[in-house]
Structure 1
Amino acid sequence: MFISDLHIHSRYSRATSKECTPEHLDLWSRRKGIDILGTGDFTHPAWREELKEKLEPAESGLYTLKKDFRLKDDTAGVKADPRFVITGEISSIYKKNGRVRKVHSVILLPSLESAELFSKKLEAIGNIHSDGRPILGLDCHDLLEIMLETCPEAIYIPAHIWTPHFSLFGAFSGFDTIEECFEDLTPHIHALETGLSSDPPMNWRLSALDGYQLISNSDAHSPAKLGREANLMDIELSYEGLSGAIQEGKGLAGTIEFFPEEGKYHYDGHRKCHLCLSPKEAEPYNGKCPVCGRKLTIGVSHRVEQLADREDGYQLENAQPYESLVPLPEVIAASTGRSAASMKVQKDYMEMLQKLGSEFSILREAPIEDIKKAAGFLISEGINRLRKGEVERTPGYDGEYGKVKLIDDSELNALDGQVSLFASSELAQMPRKEKAAKQLPAAGKPEEPEAAQPPHPIMTESLNAEQLEAVITARRAIAVIAGPGTGKTKTLVSRILHLLNERRVKPTEITAVTFTNKAAAEMRERLEKELGKRAARQVNIGTFHSLCNKILKEHRESFTLADAFETLETVEETIRHFGLTLSAKQFLKEVSLLKTGLSRESNVLSEAAFDYYGQQLKALSVLDFDDLLTETLAMLESEDKNSIRKNHYSFLLVDEFQDISPIQYELIKSWNRDGRELFVIGDPDQSIYGFRGSDARCFERLSADYPELQTIRLVHNYRSTPEIVTSACQVINHNEGAQREIQPFQSKGTPLKLVSAPSELSEGIFVAREINRLIGGIDMLDTETADNRQDSQTMRSFSDIAVLYRTHRQAEMLETCLKKEGIPYVITGRDDFLTDRNVRGTVCFFRTLLDPKDQLSLRMCLKLLWDLPEETAEILINTPDQIDTSRCPYVYLKEKYLPKVKRAKPQKLLEDWAAELGLNENKSFAKFLDMTVFYKTLAEFMDTLTFGEEGDLKRSANKTYTSDAVTLMTLHGSKGLEFPIVFLYGAKKGMMPLEVGKLSSDIQEERRLFFVGMTRAKDELILTTSSEPSPFLNELPEAMLKRQSAGKLQNPNEGKQISLTDLLS
């Protein structure tokens, strides 16, 4: 019987020990008791040369270490002579069926000559020199086909098939079936490597795997980790014997397994939040961490649950046996209360090898009495319990290895009287076990186990001194100046909870005003987690416009709310009537400035034209967006409406105070006139809506209007690295005002990266390829200038990354580049495609179905979609039975779609509509359709189009949506958000600050906008520019920058995803 471990790595792979040499691999194979060991990394030229130098042929297809290189060892027992077989691992990252796939594969070869030939084929595809495990943009199907053509005797094994990020069935970038990955070549796959986080019973739950040999290997990155998992083989010692066992099961006698809970991806979780969840516990959170809201890493156990067609505990008939073991150093540690890495444990380990033989023989075969004599009672008892399966396990999650315990600390004293190698004094000195984390309930326990309850999102114990002061202070008026990343939302929500829980304020007396609908939804969600849905829903939360819309609907006659697109016809008619030279966009801007109080008179819009426009809307019972605010304010100021204030506004809290307009300021004062407390929070340095009337000096105005105002400053930044915070502060300090002193809480990070490109195209290509590199994709930069970051081992997902730009037009090139690389993305914000005639007409049509009283939308859809005159609308409204349906498709389509609007998903509904009207080739409508994937109901979609701010509207890159996608958005849309990695794209003159024609922007506001973009980044900030750089870049501290050039000539074979056809042509 032979023990084999076929998946390992050399020192030429990333994050491996320098002792991964043939000499040390041979030494540790003898110590472990491994008979057949994979060489690993056969693709690396330097490693192949070293293998040629130090190995010599043994049996057919096997090698042994030359005696001159053999290291001395004192392990007891028969002197072993391990065999090597040529193996390697290849990482494939490519796009298939609309998704980026990342799959690792182990390949076994019969000789070094075969490895040379196969490697030459791969070298024509990508870089195999920089990493022992090369990363290739090659479909696994094509990789398998190349292997079969190059060396038919080779063995292809999908590696650690359940690992979340890089495997065949991986939760984030794998497949649901083997056939989807390998297609017609699936019959050439005979074995699967199950990985450390799963064991055979977990794999037995998938009937689709019944025909495959399940094997186990260590994937060791250091010699001491060999044999963590291994295979038992009763075979002839040869490559042919090995192949028969792996491909046909001939002589495959079983596997030696990790306890799957020890694997670092067994359960779901989020390591930074110390959160570990079973699949059942994780289910309610939809892949989001309930503590911080970021993505959970979906564990192997959960992924198995998703694909399984058999119940847990299923026993496969005639399955190969398996043994669950724990590495001997961990057994010693778990039996004695020590750390496996301690010198004492290592000393005991080596002594046991010298007295008892190899590690596997000790764990599997040595008599317990012999172990007791050699190592003492505690270790012998630990091994005895291991063999019986009496092991306490804490599951691993999100890259954190699980833990095992064999003898509890509470037992150590009880065992003190037993015969032991250790003296009683030594036992007494053993470190006491730290208080164990609460064990998660086993799967299958009753609903809502304690560990599955959403953790309290806001706890006053977690607030710093300034935050706590802002939360508990009771004053008539409080202003909190909260710099970026200082916990603004946390503080605001904590204050609401304090009002409710500690001061016993009724929920109906509290109103919280947010800047976006998304922020309102997130605040409501946080409160629901703490208070429950019933209490949270009684708190009045919304944007200025949504709150005003609610008030008007409750206290005045019915009206229709029209957005800017719906009022275009009225605008254009007014312009024609008065012979104005304004564009419709300029007209609406002037109207908005007058209504919101930013301007009392217009130089280009007469009072008569302004009044005429208002009268036209009034005749249609229509309010525009600004009317919501002006009409509400007028209503509040009337004496008979004071009850509105008393109902909800006793305690008024306003978020993003720096971005309010003059009329919003008046609304705040009116709402809270008879109230008890006003609490505003924001940051003057993030005031970025001056074109809509916001003023960074609003806090000064508040202080003048409320002499009793107490101002509190939050200065501790918990979001960004010191490099990002320091750089951002140096930029914003060029604006007027006192020096900003934001104090970073995070530990030292990496420098900001400033990348210069020769053109906008090369800038976009750089961003796309850098994203691919960050998520583990192909490194497209010249390998000699590659940025080997300190956290290069941190696995990034697409959703960790945002690309921010000044205008939507900049995103066009980005989209092209991201699509070429197969990178999923989501675009946020209002874009020009929404002005398309067919899009506007479609929106108006479905608004008439949702609101039959909406006469404006009816008139608009008839004109925009069918170019029907005003008279047709009048007939439809007044005498619909007289309409000629052959000339007016509206009637027919209304009858067809009206039954669907409340039950059909928006995506399906509008796809049918596009086919009906022949809009499938309309590019603007295609983008409009891509928005629908985010909404469950048509009403929700239409409301977002009406009330949504820049950060509320989203469009997917495709008609299918994945939460793991890169975010593309304007700097304005990014406010209030954060991402681990941020690209500030297009930082060039004319864009940052923005210059439109001969008009120059407010330089201080543009700098604040740049500051907002910089401070969205948590871990890494990458600024890109082409042509003439933005002057803001000159304000960055040089000591915090790492400069780089993009667009250099590349090796034409690097970085290209190549199909098999390309290769063979």
Structure 2
Amino acid sequence: MKFVADVHLHSHFSRATSKDLTLEHLGKWAQLKGVHVIGTGDIAHPGWLQEMKQKLEPAEEGLFRLKDEFARAVQGQVFPACHAPVRFMLAGEISSIYKKHEKVRKIHNVIFAPSFEAVEKIQAALERIGNIRSDGRPILGLDSRDLLELILTIDPQNYLIPAHIWTPWFALLGSKSGFDSVEECFDDLTPHIFALETGLSSDPPMNWRVSALDRYTLVSNSDAHSPQKLAREANQFETELSYPAIFEALKTGDPAKFLGTVEFFPEEGKYHYDGHRKCEIRWHPQTTLAQQGLCSLCGKPVTVGVMHRVEMLADRPEGEKPPRPQRFQSLIPLPEVLAEVLGVGATSKQAVQRYHDLLSKLGPELAILQDLPLADIERAGGSLLAEGIRRMRSGEVSIAGGYDGEYGVIKLFEAQERASFSAQLHLLAPAVEPAKAEPALAATPAKSMLLKEGVSAFEWKQGDLFSQPEAVSEEQSFEIPTIPQSETILAGLNAQQREAAECTDAPLIIVAGPGTGKTRTLTYRIAYLILEQGVAAKQILAITFTNKAAAEMVSRLTALLGEAVAGRIVIKTFHAFGALILREAGQRLNLAPNFLIGSEEDRQTMLQQSLPDLSKSEQQQALEQISAAKNQLLRPGSPELPVRYGPELSRIYQAYETALRKNQLLDFDDLILRAVELLETFPDVQQSYQARFRWISVDEYQDVNLAQYRLLRLLTGPETNLCVIGDPAQAIYGFRGADRAYFLTFTQDFPGAKTLPLSQNYRSSQLILDASSQVIAKAPERQALELWSEVIDPTRIEVYQAPSEKAEAEYVVHEIEKMVGGLSYFSLDSGRVQSEDSTAGRSFADFAVLYRLGAQSLPLIEAFERSGIPYQTVGQTPFYEHKEVKELLACLWFIHNPDTAFQLESKWPSKLVKQLKPFLSNLKNSADPPAVTGLIESIQQFVRPQRQWDEKGEARIQQLVRFAVPFTTRLADFLESVALQKETDVYDPRADRVTLMTLHASKGLEFPVVFMVGCEENLLPYQMPGKTFDVEEERRLFYVGMTRAKQRLILTHAKTRFLFGQKYQNQPSPFLNDIENTLKEIKQMAARKAAQEKESFQLKLF
């Protein structure tokens, strides 16, 4: 059968769309327009899926129809002449914004699914990646190629068609943020792309000029943001009415089955020509070249349109057809034809009334525009209308082409021509004076250098504006150089770094300011020891503060030395190294080698079971005090304990320790405390470790506490070479017991020690360094280095005052939207983002939002959720802290140590524990050590009949499986790695998302753009009511935050802030006053636009 399909549109869940985009209204308007198959739109949105499942029922294979009760609600509004069955196809658009090949890409793709089950799986997968609930067309930091792989993995009958491929923004071949070929975008999965959507601003002849597109079927859809816009572009088929048949026709491009497309006149599309909407400049590509791509009024780059972009990629002359050209027909929507005939607006009451009158007499709009005899149209609508449709069908139109977001204007008649048909006008609109054209729709080209529409194709010369070599970003320009392989291992270091790396004859303390290449220097020093000094890799110990830092050091040393050599170096965090000592020699303290490492939840359970009379707040306070005591090497019987924490803690501490020993558990702090105890108690053990590790390097030495300091002193013998690196100006963990005094007294602790500085910063602009130095310089005991940078950028530090914390969050979101260059067409059309902002070229991963307290993240999260901007929050509950993962980990701990069932019994019901114990024992006793992933999957299968997990739970378990893969059969290492994970380890630098994190968690990271929110007195510096605080540590924290920024730093504060259930009115942070005015740009919230302006804009959208 013959039918028309329009499968790319939106629902009312999408931003800037009509509230009438419901399934009922879509079904109604599909009949009025003459469309038989329509896309549902927005299949990624959970709310829309729920609505679809409620209102749709299966029809032909892979297609759906409205249930009778919902169809009846609107069928009375459809003229009998338009009645026809309508089918729905599950489809929706995904916006991907990501960085690939060192360039930010913004690509829209339409995905299709044959069933609700497939849609549910797609949503589950996408929700693990980003926010799919705030916008019907979600914005994800997901590579288009990876999106295609994701949907194909779920169901091979899922399909993807790149959307409106030529539009400058958000398109596969777009000039602003697209690729130069389909292959460049989809890589190895390119064979799975079989169709391309041409978009409103191009038609098939324009696409024919690029021979690389010959093998793709060219489709057209309305991309409707309101039901009335359906079928402004559409596809025509003659095949079986089913999902498989439709896609088979598209895959083969068989002209007997795919009959071609219904098209806009491409000039009417809003990105056809080049131009600059703000200055009302509309240009032919030749003029753009002549003007070197810059607006003749404001001097900013013009937006390069579709025609220009096609010309750039074309390898055929204009007018030449491909071997298999497809049919198409260019039409003008009937309301626009009537508007010109009547001399009124397309949405005027008169035009709408005549539109309905014609449909009631003649049938659907597409039939009137395409097929009906002109005589029938003349009888129903008059000779002027018939003449207009004749001209449209034959292409006799004049057009002022669209540019930079402004739709083009099509004219069928000149004013005098309408007058000559006055005899007909009274039949259509008696006694109505023809209206003036609206200013926005005036056909006269605005201040224009537009050449004649019919100008022939022109030559593109090498070296013109659009063939320049790709610009090198500021980040790339000032990247620390890689090592020339032909030179010494230290050739890539600067003079200070090289001096530090070569200093191997004395204890060494390296004072390394932020961004000076601290980790690089440390790793190259280790490589130098092995390659140039002949030190055995197994004699080297490197200690870091985070697992992420340890993993980075392993990666760098592997690249320098190879996996075999790097694998012999011991690189651990303090706690992981303590665990290593205790597993190797802990028997001397009567510790089993397979002891368990307790989580925070385990600590609470222990204390609860031991002292049930304690309230929750008393338990929490006691656990915090016990942790602090252990970091100070205090035991339950230490005389100093009651002096510091009161007499009651000794009893609580002792009960807690008894419970730990009973269950063969060590808590996090025990790993260092007991290691110190072991080395102090047994000198032979101490000497063996001193002999084993002759070369010790310690990162972030300014943050060590007493227990860590003591462990290092015990490891350092007379033959040990100790190198520590850090920055006392970045000591920010005093509240955890860290003491930067150990850094400041290093040369006293180790006589003969050398002190070397690193002062060249490779991260930030000099202006950012100057400003941050002014803040830290106010410290009474200043230890900060005078940092310098080769990055010269005059961009000042922005200080923004918002009226409230919610307004502050909205400002952050809006600024990110601008710097990304817009999130959608709404960003551009609404003026939130100017077209020139689109050249910013930043990806979401370039941004960090830093705050003093986790509670400040709440309004930020709300704002990011509303915006749809992908984000990750460091500090949210990590996957391994969720119930289903902890249950599986408890089983693995039992396999590791079946002598204690504490974790198993605290995580599973007693009935199931009885079944689990023999099952897990059998797994442990299997002949060959099973892989950790195999153990997890076996446990899953065993408990699945009694324990069901939801989709999110299953996803977290799969994340656990992926985490376990590198450990192969090393169960103990896997469990220890999970147990020692910290908050900062959750941060994933590969995720193309904005990062939200506390200032403390940001230590060691860097971002091109940093927002520091809440720069207010009593918040930064933070002072809890009624408690003393260390204002200088708060100053150092402010300094750490500022020096995370590479290119832009925005400091914000709010006049009023709602926090912890109270409203505060704080003054700006005193630290802001430490920055001289010449380095700052002060901003405040601009006055809101008038409500009627917003309303006027919203009307234009539809």
Partners of 1:1020 and 1:242 in 2: CA distance: 50
1:1002 to 1023, 1026, 1030: 1030
Displacement, 1:202? 9.1
1:1018 is aligned to 2:1085: no
Tell me how far apart the structure 1 counterparts of residues 172 and 720 of structure 2 sit (CA, whole Å).
61
Residue type at the aligned position of 2:567: R
The residue number in structure 2 matching 1:528 is: 558
> Deviation of residue 583 (structure 1)?
2.8
Paired residue for 1:618, among 635, 640, 661? 661
How far the C-alpha of 1:512 sits from its partner, in A, is 0.7
Contact 1:750 1:790 in 2 (8 A): no
Distance 1:828 1:919 in 2: 25
* Partner Cα distance (1:1041, 1:1016) in 2: 17
Do structure 1's residue 986 and structure 2's residue 1030 form an aligned pair? no
What are the equivalent positions in structure 2 for 1:459-498 lying under 5 Å apart? 459-498=489-528
Q: 697, 707, 712: which is aligned to 2:751?
A: 707
Structure 2 residue identity aligned to 1:949: K
Q: Residue 601 of structure 2 is aligned with which of 550, 553, 565?
A: 565
Partner of 2:849: 803
Q: Partner letter of residue 498 of structure 1?
A: Y
1:762 matched to which residue of 2? 807
- Which of 782, 792, 802 is equivalent to 1:747? 792
2:998 is aligned, of 956, 970, 976, to 970
Q: Could you tell me how far apart the structure 1 residues matched to 2:655 and 2:515 are? A: 47
Structure 2: gaps of 5 or more residues: 1-90, 99-104, 109-134, 140-163, 219-249, 254-259, 267-271, 275-283, 293-307, 330-455, 474-481, 635-639, 1057-1065
1:509 aligns with 2:539: yes
Which residue of structure 1 lines up, in the alignment, with residue 679 of structure 2? 636
Task: Kindly provide the amino acid, as one letter, of the partner of residue 1083 in structure 2.
Answer: Q
Distance in structure 1 (CA, Å) of the matches to 2:291 and 2:616: 80
- Name the CA distance, whole Å, in 1 between partners of 2:532 and 2:645: 53
The equivalent of 1:283 in structure 2 is: none
| Alignment of 1:603 onto 2:645 | yes
Counterpart contact for 1:981–1:1017, Cα < 8 Å: yes
Alignment correspondent of 1:688: 732
Aligned residue number for residue 1037 of structure 1: 1076
Aligned-residue offset at 1:596: 1.6
Amino acid at match of 2:1077: E
1:1025 positional shift: 2.0
- Alignment match, 1:663: 707
Where does residue 223 of structure 1 map in the other structure?
Answer: 290
Partner of 1:167: 178
Match of 2:697 in 1: 653
CA distance in 1, matches of 2:460, 2:711: 78
Task: Indicate conservation of the 8 Å contact 1:934/1:954, yes or no.
Answer: no
Amino acid of the residue matched to residue 177 of structure 2? F
1:718 and 2:718 correspond: no
Q: Which amino acid aligns with 2:979?
A: T
Instruction: Select which of 677, 680, 684 maps to 2:721.
Output: 677
- The answer on whether the counterparts of 2:172 and 2:185 sit within 8 Å (CA) in structure 1 is no
- Structure 1 residues 640, 229: closer, same or farther in 2, change over 3 A? closer
Change (3 A) 1:546 1:834: closer
**Given the superposition, is the C-alpha separation of residues 181 and 907 from structure 1 closer, same or farther in structure 2, using an over 3 Å criterion?**
farther
Superposition pairs for residues 849-864 of structure 1, below 5 Å? 852-862=898-908
Corresponding position of 1:419: none
2-structure distance, mates of 1:640, 1:594: 27
SS in 1 for 2:1048: strand
The code of the aligned residue for 2:622 comes to: F
Q: How many pairs were matched up?
A: 707
Q: How does 1:429-440 map to 2 (within 5 A)?
A: none
CA contact (8 A) 1:662 1:694 kept: yes
**Structure 2 counterpart of 1:807, which letter?**
L
Q: CA deviation at 1:911?
A: 13
User: Does the CA contact (< 8 Å) of 2:166 and 2:202 recur in 1?
Assistant: no
Partner of 2:302: none
Name the SS for the 1:567 alignment partner: helix
2:780 alignment counterpart: 736
Structure 1: stretches of 5+ with no match in the other structure: 1-93, 106-136, 142-154, 236-240, 251-357, 364-385, 402-451, 882-889, 957-961
Once the two structures are superposed, what CA deviation does each residue of 1:727-751 show, in whole Å capped at 9, x if it has no partner? 1111112222237422233112411
In the alignment, the residues of structure 1 paired with residue 686 and residue 531 of structure 2 have an alpha-carbon distance, to the nearest angstrom, of 28
Separation in 1 of the partners of 2:1018 and 2:645?
A: 27
Work out the CA distance in 2 between the residues paired with 1:362 and 1:166.
21
**Matched-pair contact (CA < 8 Å) for 1:544–1:664:** yes
Provide closer, same or farther for how the CA distance between residues 204 and 512 of structure 1 changes in structure 2, counting only shifts above 3 A. Answer: farther
Asked if the contact 2:771/2:1075 (under 8 Å) is kept, the reply is yes
What amino acid is aligned across from residue 805 of structure 2 in structure 1?
A: E
Distance across 1 between alignment mates of 2:938 and 2:833 = 45
Judge conservation of contact 2:819–2:837 (CA < 8 Å) in 1. Answer: no
CA distance in 2, matches of 1:587, 1:700: 32
- 8 A Cα contact 1:203 1:209, kept in partner: no
SS in 2 for 1:1001: coil
AA of the residue aligned to 1:591: I
Q: Deviations over 1:61-99 (max 9, x none)?
A: xxxxxxxxxxxxxxxxxxxxxxxxxxxxxxxxx994474
Cα gap change, 1:232 to 1:592, in 2 (>3 Å): closer
Alpha-carbon contact 1:841-1:860 (below 8 Å) kept: no
- Closer/same/farther in 2, CA of residues 187 and 656 from structure 1, 3 Å limit: closer
TM-score by length of 1: 0.57
C-alpha displacement of 1:184: 13
1:483 Cα offset (Å)? 0.8
CA distance in 2 between partners of 1:812 and 1:801 (Å): 18
- Quickly say closer, same or farther: Cα 1:554–1:1054, change in 2 above 3 A: farther
Give the conservation status (yes or no) of the 8 Å contact 1:914–1:920. no
d(CA) in 1 for partners of 2:519 and 2:624? 31
Q: Using the alignment, how far apart are the partners of 1:362 and 1:813 within structure 2?
A: 51
Cα deviation 1:363-406 (Å, max 9, x = unaligned): 9xxxxxxxxxxxxxxxxxxxxxx9xxxx9xxx9975569xxxxx
Specify whether residues 521 and 397 from structure 1 end up closer, same or farther in structure 2 by C-alpha distance, changes over 3 A only: farther
SS in 2 for 1:1023: strand
For residues 728-777 of structure 1, what are the alpha-carbon distances to aligned partners after superposition, in whole Å with 9 as ceiling and x for unaligned? 11111222223742223311241111222222222222222222221111
**Per the alignment, do residues 838 and 104 of structure 1 end up closer, same or farther by CA in structure 2, a change over 3 Å counting?**
closer
CA contact (8 A) 1:727 1:1037 kept: yes
Quote the offset at 1:1011 in angstroms: 1.0
Q: 1:775 to 1:782 in 2, by over 3 A?
A: closer
User: Which residue pairs with 1:594 in the alignment?
Assistant: 629
Residues 163 and 170, structure 1, Cα contact 8 Å, conserved in 2: no
Instruction: Report the alpha carbon displacement of residue 658 of structure 1 after superposing the two structures with TM.
Output: 0.5
The separation in 2 between residues aligned to 1:1003 and 1:911, in whole angstroms, is 55
SS in 2 for 1:565: helix
Give the Cα–Cα distance (whole angstroms) in 2 for the partners of residues 166 and 815 of structure 1. Answer: 27
Coordinate RMSD, CA, aligned? 5.5
Distance across 1 between alignment mates of 2:886 and 2:312: 62
Give the C-alpha shift of residue 166 in structure 1: 2.3
TM-score by length of 2: 0.55
Query: Shift of the alpha carbon at 1:723?
Result: 1.7
Contact 2:703/2:733 (8 A) holds in 1: yes
Tell me how far apart the structure 2 counterparts of residues 753 and 656 of structure 1 sit (CA, whole Å). 30
Contact 2:501–2:522, Cα closer than 8 Å, also in 1: yes
